[in-house]
Amino acid sequence: MQFRDLKAQYLALKPQIDRAIFDAVEEGRYISGPQVRELEERLAAYVGVKHCITCANGTDALQLALMAWGVGPGDAVFVPDFTFFSSGEVVSAVGATPVFVDVDEPTFNVDVAKLEEAVVAVRDEGGLVPSVVVSVDLFGLPADYPSLKPLCEKYGLKLLEDGAQGFGGAIGEAMACSFGDISATSFFPAKPLGCYGDGGAVFTDDDEWAALIRSYAVHGKGAFKYDNVRVGMNSRLDTIQAAVLLAKLDAFANEEVAAVNEIARLYDGALADSGLALPRVPDGYTSSWAQYTVRLPESVDRDNLQARLKEQGVPTMVYYPKPMHEQGAFEGACVVAPSDCPVTKRLCATVLSLPMGPYVSAEDVVAVAESFMGGLR
């Protein structure tokens, strides 16, 4: 059993993927080929925004957004304490200060009430200017945007949606990566929509920001390739990766998001009496289920449980074992919200992610659940 079975996906979509790669290679436009622009147009239409700018990876996508806004030294950027490193890394990379905020335990996403406490505390202290909220759609579930967006408007904050794990999720009819003033996603192979290498994209309705991001992504170019009007970076999506994503996109939109939601429903049923805290999707939300993550009782030895499951052929992962504010890279260079993030600490000690993806079978779910229940005894 695979934790996320990319080989099964390839075999299911092999004719489309092979043809897309072959056509890209045969055409020979390996950088900025026509597939890149076609992909951008289709992704923008899928998300429901005006602009999509592809780039080299999801981390660059976040940093490009901050660069377009001119975020830098003296700015406070609010980031969930329970997330992948790059959500805060990009803040430090542009010289701003990350402020880590605790999360809501059932959904794993930022706790909006604690976020407001942190914004007010930073504002009142006066050393930093509250500037941006990075909202993470963790494990595929969009953050609480009906509360986040009014809060950002109230305090004059820009909203950067980190949809690296959330692409394909939704709130009602509104798609993930449409909620931020600028939104970003990742096409890392194991993400809900993944390529065969690194890749990312930025989404916005703002014409000026889109133009800046396009410039920053290609060495700060101006009117043409060798007219450099600002210092940027080299962050382009390769044509072959765009071709792979185009080959996958219809299946993703029309089949795979529904499939992972069915697998999540089966897990919910199979684990209902396990004593585990199962992931929660609020009413009206759709998750793209980048991960199916449970919370163990604090009395369970997680390392021992993982070892026992591995012996039975069931792979598991811990996302994430350490709070952001405890990462050595941020020592002396971050602010921790007034509550000191106790929920994050508890999650880091108890979360465990199970095999997930659109090609997990019902039989796989039963086998995982039985092994899990046996391991808990």
pLDDT digits (tens, 9 = 90+) for 175-211: 999 999 999 999 999 999 999 999 999 999 999 999 9
Sequence-distant (≥ 6) Cβ neighbours of residue 153 within 8 angstroms? none
pLDDT-based confidence at 274, cuts 50/70/90?
A: confident
Name all contacts of 5-14 with Cβ < 8 Å and 24+ positions apart.
Answer: 5/355, 5/357, 5/359, 5/360, 6/189, 6/190, 6/194, 8/357, 8/359, 9/248, 9/357, 9/358, 9/359, 12/251, 12/359, 13/247, 13/248, 13/251
CA 348 – CA 40 distance, rounded (Å)? 36
Phi, psi angle pair for 181, to nearest 5°: -60, -40
Mean predicted confidence (pLDDT) in 204-233: 95
pLDDT at 317: 97
CA 359 – CA 357 distance, rounded (Å)? 5
Structure tokens at 197: 């290498």
By percentage, how much of the chain surpasses pLDDT 90? 95
Strand (E) positions, 163-317?
Answer: 170-171, 174-175, 182-186, 200-204, 285-286, 292-295
Inform me whether the pLDDT recorded for 338 exceeds 90: no
Mean predicted confidence (pLDDT) in 329-333: 96
45, containing H or E segment: helix 34-47
Mean predicted confidence (pLDDT) in 50-66: 98
Hey, which residues does 103 pair with through a beta bridge?
A: 110
pLDDT at 193: 98
pLDDT-based confidence at 259, cuts 50/70/90?
A: very high
For the stretch 15-53, pLDDT in tens is 999 999 999 999 999 999 999 999 999 999 999 999 999
pLDDT at 130: 98
Evaluate whether the domain defined by 256-376 bears CATH number 3.90.1150.10: yes
pLDDT at 275: 86
Coil, helix or strand at residue 9: helix
Inform me whether the pLDDT recorded for 377 exceeds 90: no
For the stretch 104-140, pLDDT in tens is 999 999 999 999 999 999 999 999 999 999 999 999 9
CATH of 6-102+110-248, one of 1.10.3710.10, 3.40.50.720, 3.40.50.1000, 3.40.640.10: 3.40.640.10
Pick from 158, 154, 128, 135: nearest CA to 67: 158
**What integer best gives the mean pLDDT of the chain?**
96
Sequence-distant (≥ 6) Cβ neighbours of residue 329 within 8 angstroms? 85, 89, 92
pLDDT-based confidence at 332, cuts 50/70/90?
A: very high
Question: Are the beta carbons of 99 and 335 closer than 8 angstroms?
Answer: yes
CA 321 – CA 290 distance, rounded (Å)? 17
Q: Where are the domains of the chain?
A: 6-102+110-248, 256-376
Global model pTM greater than 0.95: yes
CB burial readout 139-175, b (16+ within 10 A) else e? bbbbbbbeebbebbeebebbbbbbbbbbbbbbbeeeb
Burial class of 231 by CB neighbour count within 10 A (0 to 12, 13 to 18, 19+): exposed
For the stretch 73-108, pLDDT in tens is 999 999 999 999 999 999 999 999 999 999 999 999
For the stretch 310-326, pLDDT in tens is 999 999 999 999 999 99
